[in-house]
């Protein structure tokens, strides 16, 4: 579902910051070689992620769901000089693809890849975070939020992707559709949780920005 016309989306991208060349290459190769390229954040959302990261100027970033590493590199643009970004994914087939682009970037020494179950890995990181991006399996969104909220610095930002789920959140939920059911619960939780203040932005497939109080 397009929440605005493709023409308006193209206009928004055209009048936003240009896509860096390394990310443009990553974008092209993802569409050429990797399944489900729609999962890529892409130019416009990538520039949104980059700008939010630059505004936060985080020391530690956590990303849950790396895919091919596009959003990782966008988020890294706002890192402090000695900061780090931990990115977690359970798809070992994408590890080398991600690393190839990470190693070509100026943040190659600051990006730490983790392969496995995020709920097992997060408690072992032993860090407090200024910025978190949740973009993995939707059925665990509530679990991911509950895992990271105690690790957030005050004023930190939690970003949650795909929260409009192609508009399915407005439709009757099918009995076997666990993802939509969880996202409905998740969106309600973020709205009502007193630990955060939240705004849901209709960018691409929905991006929630939650500030830790």
Q: Note the pLDDT tens digit of each residue in 150-172.
A: 999 999 999 999 999 999 999 99
Residues with Cβ within 8 Å of 24's Cβ and at least 6 positions away in sequence, in order, are: none
Q: What are phi and psi of 68, to 5 degrees?
A: -100, 5
* pLDDT tens digits, one per residue of 86-130: 999 999 999 999 999 999 999 999 999 999 999 999 999 999 999
Residue 1 has pLDDT above 60, yes or no: no
Q: Rounded mean pLDDT of 122-144? A: 97
pLDDT of residue 173: 93
Task: State the Cα–Cα distance between residues 107 and 129, nearest whole angstrom.
Answer: 18
More confident residue, 34 or 77: 77
CA distances (Å), origin 179, targets 13, 140, 149, 195 = 29, 9, 21, 24
Strands (DSSP E) found in 38-164:
60-64, 84-89, 111-115, 129-134, 152-161
pLDDT-derived band at 3, boundaries 50, 70, 90:
confident
Half-sphere exposure of 163 (CA within 13 A, CB side): 27
Sheet of 84-89: strands edge to edge?
111-115, 84-89, 60-64, 129-134, 152-161, 207-212, 196-201
Percentage of the residues of the chain whose pLDDT score is greater than 90: 90
Q: Are 58 and 83 in contact (CB under 8 A)?
A: yes
* pLDDT tens digits, one per residue of 104-116: 999 999 999 999 9
pLDDT of residue 54: 98
Other CB atoms within a 10 A radius of the CB of residue 55 amount to 11
């Amino acid at each position: 579902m397009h929440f605005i016309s493709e023409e308006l989306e193209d206009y928004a991208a055209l009048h936003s910051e240009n896509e860096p060349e390394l990310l443009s290459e990553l974008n092209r190769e993802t569409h050429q070689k990797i399944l489900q390229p729609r999962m890529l954040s892409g130019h416009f959302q990538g520039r949104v992620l980059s700008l939010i990261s630059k505004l936060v100027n985080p020391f530690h970033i956590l990303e849950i769901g790396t895919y091919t590493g596009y959003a990782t590199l966008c988020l890294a643009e706002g890192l402090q000089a000695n900061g780090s970004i931990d990115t977690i994914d359970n798809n070992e087939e994408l590890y080398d693809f991600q690393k190839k682009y990470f190693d070509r970037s100026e943040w190659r020494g600051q990006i730490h890849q983790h392969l496995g179950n995020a709920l097992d890995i997060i408690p072992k990181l032993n860090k407090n975070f200024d910025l978190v991006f949740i973009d993995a399996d939707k059925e665990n969104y509530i679990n991911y939020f509950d895992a990271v909220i105690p690790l957030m610095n005050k004023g930190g930002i939690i970003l949650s992707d795909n929260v409009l789920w192609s508009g399915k959140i407005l439709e009757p939920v099918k009995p076997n559709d666990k993802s939509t059911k969880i996202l409905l619960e998740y969106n309600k939780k973020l709205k009502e949780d007193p630990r955060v203040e939240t705004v849901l932005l209709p960018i691409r497939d929905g991006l929630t920005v939650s500030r830790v109080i």
